């Protein structure tokens, strides 16, 4: 079946503008994650959604970052008033969320460049 998809694949924006990144998880996956990968660094956890539970927002770096998820489907990550340090690849992953931990399936990422 189809894997996790993300759009756009690339986004170039000017400092101060807002951007919205989209993630379509694998159908039936109840858990959805957003990560950020800055150049030369590892993946940094941003936010986690699980079903109808309150999301785990503990990784969001500032209040300029927010994310929503509609039920168990699409999620959007919004960055307001973008800064140059927001430039990174933003990765989305989904999983079945089996007890004891499960495999996360990653999308291709959105490369964000803030000029």
Partner 1 sequence: AQRVTQPEKLLSVFKGAPVELKCNYSYSGSPELFWYVQYSRQRLQLLLRHISRESIKGFTADLNKGETSFHLKKPFAQEEDSAMYYCALNTFGNEKLTFGTGTRLTIIP
β-partners of residue 76 are: 22, 68
Angstrom distance (rounded) from CA 99 to CA 93: 17
106 binds partner 1 (CB under 8 A): yes
Distance in Å, CB of 102 to partner 1, minimum = 8
Label residue 39 exposed, middle or buried (CB < 10 Å: 0-12, 13-18, 19+): exposed
Select from 82, 94, 104, 110 the one that contacts partner 1 (CB under 8 A).
104
Residue 60 Cβ vs partner 1, minimum distance, rounded to whole Å: 12
Q: Does 59 bind partner 1 (CB under 8 A)?
A: yes
The 10 Å Cβ neighbour count of residue 28 is 9
Q: What are the two backbone dihedrals, phi and then psi, of residue 2, each rounded to the nearest 5 degrees?
A: -70, 145
Strand partners, 33: 48, 93
Choices 10-18, 19-27, 35-43, 76-84; region in contact with partner 1 by CB under 8 A: 35-43
Q: Which is nearer to partner 1, 18 or 102 (CB)?
A: 102
**From the list 1, 28, 71, 100, which residue makes contact with partner 1 (rule: CB under 8 A)?**
100
33 binds partner 1 (CB under 8 A): yes
22 binds partner 1 (CB under 8 A): no
């Amino acid at each position: 079946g189809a894997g996790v998809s993300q759009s756009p694949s690339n986004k170039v924006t000017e400092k101060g503008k807002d951007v919205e990144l989209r993630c379509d998880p694998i159908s039936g996956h109840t858990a959805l994650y957003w990560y950020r990968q800055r150049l030369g660094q590892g993946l940094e956890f941003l936010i986690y959604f699980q079903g109808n539970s309150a999301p785990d927002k503990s990784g969001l770096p500032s209040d300029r970052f927010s994310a929503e998820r509609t039920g168990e489907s699409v999620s959007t990550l919004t960055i307001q008033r973008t800064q140059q340090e927001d430039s990174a690849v933003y990765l989305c992953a989904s999983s079945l969320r089996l007890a004891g931990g499960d495999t996360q399936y990653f999308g291709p990422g959105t490369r964000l460049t803030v000029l």
